[in-house]
Amino acid sequence: MLNIITIPAFDDNYIWLIHQEENNNCVVVDPGDDEPVMEVLNKLQLNLEAILITHHHPDHTGGVKQLVAATGASVYGPANEDIKELDYRLSEKDTVNLDKSALSFSVFDVPGHTKGHIAYLTEDALFSGDSLFAGGCGRIFEGTAEQMYQSLTKLSLLPADTRIYCAHEYTEGNLNFALAVEPENNDLVDRINEVKKKRANGQSTVPSLMHVEHATNPFLRSQQKSVMKVAESRLGKVPSSEIETFSSIRSWKDSF
């Protein structure tokens, strides 16, 4: 059975440690800091076989060099980004097969946040980095709105019960924005109330589920009349496409 451990880092980052139960080999995703990872490895007596990187930002890669030195782990990451520690460069349709950990990951190209951002899927667990967030999506730093829209659309086609392990605890802020977009979305109101209770109790709101994102995440809802109407009011014209709707809403979020 797949066991996924949450390792908090910095103010709001999540590093994910993945292993099969009764297997002492494991994988980590986006270790921006090596110290909390080493603490968990030592506590649980796990061997780190591989490090998976979604994109080049330092809060996702900062611990890689130290972890490799301490464990000898292999490093996998995006083919189209300059990450010097990579042993294996990955792109769409590649598969990462890890024999010791008995884990296999499918790779998706999801540019937008950065030019070469990738995501990993194993069983029903998606590790989306800073592309798809719970209740939102990443800022567009290096790509285009069209790229981000296409990336999110690709991920949204995964099964409804796919669990989304994003890399930050941004959910409450994302949903506050989502409510500004769709104030009459009852599913969204219910979700915000649940999230606020969790955060008040110091609980994580990640992972999310894909069907929850379809119902409440405005960046997966560009085809909805309610979202298109908001985009129209901001653009001063009817959006020419779902991409233009998405771009308008994403731009608003940047200054929200």
Which residues participate in catalysis according to the annotation?
A: 55, 57, 59-60, 113, 130, 168
Cα–Cα distance, 53 to 127 (Å, whole number): 10
Cα–Cα distance, 109 to 112 (Å, whole number): 10
- Ramachandran sector of residue 212 (left: φ over 0; alpha: ψ -120 to 50; beta: rest): alpha
Cα–Cα distance, 152 to 167 (Å, whole number): 15
Residue by residue, DSSP assigns 158-200 as S-TT-EEEESB--HHHHHHHHHHH-TT-HHHHHHHHHHHHHHH
Cα–Cα distance, 222 to 149 (Å, whole number): 9
